[in-house]
């Protein structure tokens, strides 16, 4: 028993003196070398050509055309006709904003129906020429006091003449509304308007088709306005659409949009 105790004590002393059991062998580290696969750059996308922007229609310089609308009114002495001066101008509009303006010589010289006819003339004229309404500035400079839609056809001819660079015959005038499809609509007071045209020195007046026989309020009877004009030295012609009116008033043929057909 004592021998075992002595052996244990001897072992303990050896441990205290730094004699230890041989260390465990250190394992050799395994080094794995991983060569990264180079990442190829994504292929350059093929450039898609941009959609071509259609070339704008050549914008003409500012143009002005003067016309003389015919009007009808009833005063203290009865019905009468009169003529006015209207300068229609069209010019490029770099701002590309809708601009239709009206200038007056007198306070409230033009009424709402007259101004709506100016808008319609600008819209129809632009549509027939295939141009953007916002690319131009349309101006109607009117003398005197006037209202009503009966000068719509004449003002449309003036707008088109500005866009095309044509002139309106000075000795001619017209009465008739303008419809969205370019047809000319009926009006009243034609006998008195022809009388006013004769007094102003006009030699030709266009009237809406179907109105050769018009009611004369002053005489309270139907009259043949062609014969009425002949007696006054004025040639009266009926027209059905803006194409007929334009050719007669300017001497030039109005280009027609593809697929369109005039009644003339």
pLDDT at 260: 53
Question: Which is nearest to 181 in space by CA: 152, 148, 146, 219?
Answer: 152
Name the band, by pLDDT with cuts 50, 70 and 90, for residue 103: very high
**Contacts with 232 (C-beta within 8 Å, 6 or more apart), sequence order:** 194, 195, 198
pLDDT above 80 for 25: no
Q: What's the whole-number mean pLDDT along residues 38-61? A: 47
Compute CA 86 distance to the chain's CA centroid, rounded to the nearest angstrom: 22
**Three-state SS sequence of 194-240:** HHHHHHCCCCEEEEECCCCEEEECCCCEEEEHHHHHHHHCCEEEEEC
Q: Is 261 a catalytic residue?
A: no
Which of residues 13 and 218 earns the better pLDDT score? 218
The residue assigned the tokens 């609509």 is 185
Name the band, by pLDDT with cuts 50, 70 and 90, for residue 261: low
Which of residues 57 and 216 earns the better pLDDT score? 216
Q: Which of 122, 173, 193, 202 is catalytic?
A: 193
What backbone phi and psi angles, to 5 degrees, belong to 3? -65, -40
Q: What's the whole-number mean pLDDT along residues 132-147? A: 92
For the stretch 161-207, pLDDT in tens is 999 999 999 999 999 999 999 999 999 999 999 999 999 999 999 99
- Cα separations in angstroms, 218 against 78, 81, 84, 88: 7, 11, 21, 32
Q: State the Cα–Cα distance between residues 71 and 151, nearest whole angstrom.
A: 8
Q: What's the whole-number mean pLDDT along residues 75-94? A: 94
- Cα separations in angstroms, 40 against 34, 35, 47, 144, 261: 18, 15, 20, 80, 63
Assigned CATH topology for domain 63-250 = Ribosomal Protein S5; domain 2 (3.30.230)
- Range in 41-50, 69-78, 116-125, 193-202 with the lowest mean pLDDT: 41-50
- Which two three-digit tokens encode residue 239? 């027209």
pLDDT at 18: 45
The residue assigned the tokens 């990264």 is 36
For the stretch 216-244, pLDDT in tens is 999 999 999 999 999 999 999 999 999 99
What backbone phi and psi angles, to 5 degrees, belong to 160? -65, -40
Q: H helices within 80-216, ranges in order?
A: 112-129, 152-164, 190-199
pLDDT above 70 for 3: no
- Bridging pattern class, strands 221-224 and 213-216: antiparallel
pLDDT at 16: 39
pLDDT above 50 for 85: yes
Which of residues 38 and 88 earns the better pLDDT score? 88
Q: Is 84 a catalytic residue?
A: no
- Which two three-digit tokens encode residue 14? 């050896």
pLDDT at 1: 47
Q: Which of 89, 117, 122, 150 is catalytic?
A: 150
Q: What's the whole-number mean pLDDT along residues 149-171? A: 97
Q: Over the chain, what is the mean pLDDT?
A: 83
* Structural domain boundaries in the chain: 63-250
């Amino acid at each position: 028993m004592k021998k075992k105790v002595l052996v244990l004590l001897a072992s303990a002393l050896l441990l205290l003196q730094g004699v230890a059991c041989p260390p465990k062998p250190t394992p050799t580290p395994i080094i794995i070398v991983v060569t990264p696969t180079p990442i190829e750059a994504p292929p350059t996308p093929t450039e898609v050509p941009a959609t071509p922007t259609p070339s704008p229609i050549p914008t003409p310089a500012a143009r002005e055309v003067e016309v003389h609308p015919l009007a009808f009114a009833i005063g203290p002495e009865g019905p009468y006709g009169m003529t006015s001066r209207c300068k229609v101008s069209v010019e490029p509009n770099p701002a590309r904003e809708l601009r239709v303006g009206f200038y007056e010589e007198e306070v409230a010289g033009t009424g709402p129906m007259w101004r709506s006819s100016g808008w319609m003339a600008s819209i129809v004229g632009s549509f027939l020429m295939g141009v953007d309404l916002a690319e131009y500035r349309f101006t109607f400079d009117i003398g005197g006091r006037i209202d009503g839609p009966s000068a719509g056809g004449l003002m449309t001819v003036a707008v088109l003449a500005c866009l095309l660079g044509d002139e309106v015959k000075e000795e001619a005038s017209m009465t008739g509304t303008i419809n969205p499809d370019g047809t000319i609509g009926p009006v009243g007071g034609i006998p008195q308007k022809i009388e006013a045209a004769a007094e102003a020195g006009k030699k030709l007046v266009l009237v809406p088709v179907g109105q050769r026989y018009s009611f004369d309020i002053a005489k309270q009877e139907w009259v043949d306005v062609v014969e009425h004009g002949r007696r006054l030295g004025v040639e009266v012609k009926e027209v059905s659409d803006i194409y007929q009116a334009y050719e007669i008033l300017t001497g030039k043929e109005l280009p027609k949009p593809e697929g369109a057909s005039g009644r003339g």
